[in-house]
């Protein structure tokens, strides 16, 4: 530190540098105005002044400069102007350490700084931090701060995300030359309960049973209740009822012994701090002969003797709902996203009044990335329909996969898997050509539907 009119040297306490770059150590010095420097001033920089005392720069005797620094140092300032700023080029981690300045007035006094400046050289250029997120409007603002301690770059993204962006990754990447640093944050989008579904179907395990399954999309998770005539039969989180709770899902099993009494109106309610939703269905059981289940229904073991009809349409589980506990038939499961090993459920038992045909609806297409020995792109198409819909995936007008012939996507890069109203495409070895709009077409005897989504392989 210096006081005007006295002996002193001023520079930062510490500096940071990047391997292969240059470092500037800003420096000024002073001496009393009564001292004459008309004969000149010699500027000297040392490394490890209190130890090896290596000469880094010498304005009057270059031969005294250590060979490791001789061609890499230069004085940017003019000593006559009290400026001792030093430039150090092509720094390495070995340059890390303490540096000190000394000046000598020709035919006069000399002075060494009272303290050192600490230089830290790193091979890591930068790091990404996430100070917080502010969802407002879609805009990116950038600010750069330059000082003697380094460079600070701040880039702020202000945007509005929808419920579809929940659990997606937001990536930040900064590069300097060949060096790169990345950071990521998982988006947690809060939204009220939506897309509430209540389904009914038969399950055969240790005997047939009626299953009521309720599922919803919500963040934070919603509390689900299954009611009949105002009475709570099951709840999630569990209230000690007969239901099986999962996050945003509720499953209630009704044994065949109570089949006749199980008929009636059922309601599912979803509630979270952000809102609520409700839906209902009328459950009616029917035997193969068309009559209502009576005393013999409880004693009937083969599941094929019964059909189950739901007042809102078909009685199959919705494809891709991810309820791992849902089953249709002994040991058959509906895997999440209709992945490998998915088995299409058998057709419902015949009844005297077949359910009406429904055209494909609720068609959705989703894209995401998985890391399995390298990045794998996933495109999943799901639909709701009765009878089952044929699904096909296209990219730029070219057919990639079909639920009728998954061999369309055969090859080392593309693999397709089909299950009931679900088509899943896996893309290995992702490249720029895979970043495109993907279109899913669903078709059955009652109609067709189309949905599209853009797959950005860099940021999904």
272-324: per-residue pLDDT in tens? 998 888 898 888 765 544 444 433 333 322 232 233 333 333 333 343 333 33
Asked whether residue 430 carries a pLDDT value surpassing 70, the answer given is: yes
Query: Under CATH, which architecture does the 8-122 domain have?
Result: Sandwich (2.60)
Would you state the pLDDT for residue 267?
A: 92
Would you state the pLDDT for residue 255?
A: 64
∠365-249-416 over CA atoms, to 5°?
A: 30
Would you state the pLDDT for residue 434?
A: 87
264: closest CA among 219, 304, 231, 305? 231
195-199, 222-226, 281-285, 395-399: the lowest-pLDDT one = 281-285
Task: Identify whether the C-beta of residue 19 lies closer than 8 Å to the C-beta of residue 126.
Answer: no
Average pLDDT, the chain: 73
Instruction: Domain 357-460: state its class.
Output: mainly beta
| Cβ within 8 Å of residue 364, ≥6 positions away | 320, 381, 382, 383, 451
**Where along the chain do the CATH 2.60.40.10 domains lie?**
8-122, 357-460
Q: Which tokens sit at 166?
A: 């929940």
Q: Mean of the pLDDT values across residues 331-335? A: 25
Q: Mean of the pLDDT values across residues 151-158? A: 65
Phi-psi region of 243 (alpha: psi -120 to 50; beta: other; left: phi over 0): beta
51-102: per-residue pLDDT in tens? 999 999 999 998 999 999 989 999 988 898 999 999 999 999 999 999 999 9
Task: Identify whether the C-beta of residue 88 lies closer than 8 Å to the C-beta of residue 106.
Answer: no
Name which residue leads in pLDDT, 299 or 377.
Answer: 377
């Amino acid at each position: 530190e210096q006081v005007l009119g006295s002996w002193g040297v001023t520079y930062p306490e510490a500096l940071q540098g990047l391997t292969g770059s240059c470092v500037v150590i800003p420096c000024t010095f002073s001496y009393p105005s009564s001292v004459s420097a008309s004969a000149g001033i010699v500027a000297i920089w040392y490394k490890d002044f209190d130890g090896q005392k290596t000469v880094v720069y010498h304005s009057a005797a270059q031969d005294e400069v250590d060979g490791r620094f001789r061609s890499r140092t230069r004085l940017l300032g003019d000593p006559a102007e009290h400026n001792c700023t030093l430039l150090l080029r092509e720094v390495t981690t070995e340059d890390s350490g303490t540096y000190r300045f000394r000046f000598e007035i020709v035919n006069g006094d000399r002075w060494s700084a009272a303290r050192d400046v600490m230089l830290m050289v790193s091979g890591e250029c930068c790091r990404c931090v996430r100070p917080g997120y502010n969802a407002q409007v879609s805009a990116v603002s950038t600010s750069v701060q330059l000082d003697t301690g380094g460079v600070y770059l701040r880039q702020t993204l202000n945007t509005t995300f929808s419920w579809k962006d929940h659990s997606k990754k937001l990536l930040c990447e900064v590069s300097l030359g060949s060096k790169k640093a990345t950071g990521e944050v998982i988006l947690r989008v809060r939204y009220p309960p939506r897309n509430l579904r209540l389904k009914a179907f038969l399950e055969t395990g240790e005997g047939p049973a009626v299953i009521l399954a309720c599922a919803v999309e919500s963040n934070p998770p919603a509390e689900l209740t299954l009611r009949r005539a105002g009475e709570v039969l099951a709840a999630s989180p569990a209230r000690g009822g007969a239901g099986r709770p999962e996050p945003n899902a509720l499953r209630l099993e009704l044994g065949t012994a109570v089949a006749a009494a199980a008929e009636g109106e059922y309601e599912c309610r979803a509630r979270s701090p952000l809102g609520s939703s409700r839906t209902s269905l009328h459950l009616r059981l029917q035997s193969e002969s068309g009559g209502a289940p009576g005393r013999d229904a409880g004693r009937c073991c083969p599941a094929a003797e019964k059909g189950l009809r739901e007042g809102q349409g078909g009685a199959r589980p919705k494809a891709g709902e991810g309820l791992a506990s849902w089953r249709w038939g002994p040991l058959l499961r509906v895997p999440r996203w209709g992945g490998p090993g998915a088995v299409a459920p058998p057709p419902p038992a015949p009844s005297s009044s077949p359910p009406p045909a429904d055209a494909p609806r609720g068609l959705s297409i989703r894209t995401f990335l998985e890391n399995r020995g390298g990045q794998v792109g996933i495109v999943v198409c799901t639909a709701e329909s009765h009878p089952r819909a044929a699904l096909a995936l296209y990219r730029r007008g070219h057919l990639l996969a079909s639920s009728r012939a998954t061999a369309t996507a055969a090859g080392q890069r593309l693999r397709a898997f089909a299950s009931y109203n679900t088509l899943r495409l896996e893309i290995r070895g992702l490249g720029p050509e895979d970043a495109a709009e993907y279109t899913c077409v669903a078709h059955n005897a009652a109609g067709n539907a189309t949905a599209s989504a853009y797959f950005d392989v860099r940021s999904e």
